[in-house]
Amino acid sequence: MTATIFGIIIFCAIFALAFAGAVVWVMERKAKVSRWEIAPFSHSFLAGCVAFSFVYILNRLVFPRWPKTTAVFNLIMLGGIFTFRALRKKLLRQYRRWRRKTEKKHPRSVEAEALEHMLERDPLNAFCLEKLSEIYGEMGENDKALEAAREAFKLDPSVKNKLWVEDLEKEIPAKKRRKNGWNF
Residue 180 pLDDT class (50, 70, 90 cuts): low
Q: How confident is the model at residue 176 (pLDDT cuts 50, 70, 90)?
A: low
pLDDT band (50, 70, 90) for residue 164: confident
What is the 3-state secondary structure of the chain? CHHHHHHHHHHHHHHHHHHHHHHHHHHHHHHHHCCCCCCCHHHHHHHHHHHHHHHHHHHHHHCCCCHHHHHHHHHHHHHHHHHHHHHHHHHHHHHHHHHHHHCCCCCCHHHHHHHHHHHHHCCCCHHHHHHHHHHHHHHCCHHHHHHHHHHHHHHCCCHHHHHHHHHHHHHHHHHHHHHHCCCC
Question: What integer pLDDT is reported at residue 74 of this predicted model?
Answer: 77
The proportion of the chain whose per-residue pLDDT surpasses 90, expressed as a percent, equals: 9
Please report, for the chain, the start and end positions of each structural domain, with discontinuous segments joined by +.
Answer: 2-102, 109-178
Q: Which of 72, 65, 76 is nearest to 8 (CA)?
A: 65
Residue type, 128: C
Give the least confident one: 17-31, 101-115, 118-132, 168-182.
Answer: 168-182
Predicted local confidence at residue 35, as pLDDT: 57
Instruction: Decide if 144 contacts 114 (C-beta within 8 A).
Output: no
pLDDT tens digits along 114-134? 999 999 998 888 899 999 999
What's this model's pTM, rounded to 2 decimal places? Answer: 0.43
Q: Could you tell me the CA-to-CA distances from 171 to 73, 103, 142, 152, 165 in Å, in that order?
A: 64, 27, 8, 18, 10
Q: Which residues of 2-30 are buried (b: 16+ CB within 10 A; e: fewer)?
A: eeeeeebeebbeebbebbbebbbebbeee
For all residues of the chain together, what is the average pLDDT? 78
Mean pLDDT along residues 142-159:
89
CATH of 109-178, one of 3.20.20.70, 3.30.70.260, 1.25.40.10, 3.30.450.40: 1.25.40.10
Per-residue pLDDT band for 71 (boundaries 50, 70, 90) equals confident
- pLDDT of 182: 53
- CA 67 and chain centroid, separation: 41
> Does the pLDDT of residue 181 top 60, yes or no?
no
**Cα separations in angstroms, 138 against 81, 107, 133, 144:** 51, 10, 9, 11
Write out pLDDT tens, residues 153-163.
Answer: 898 888 888 88
Torsion of CA 167, 173, 179, 180, to 10 degrees: -170
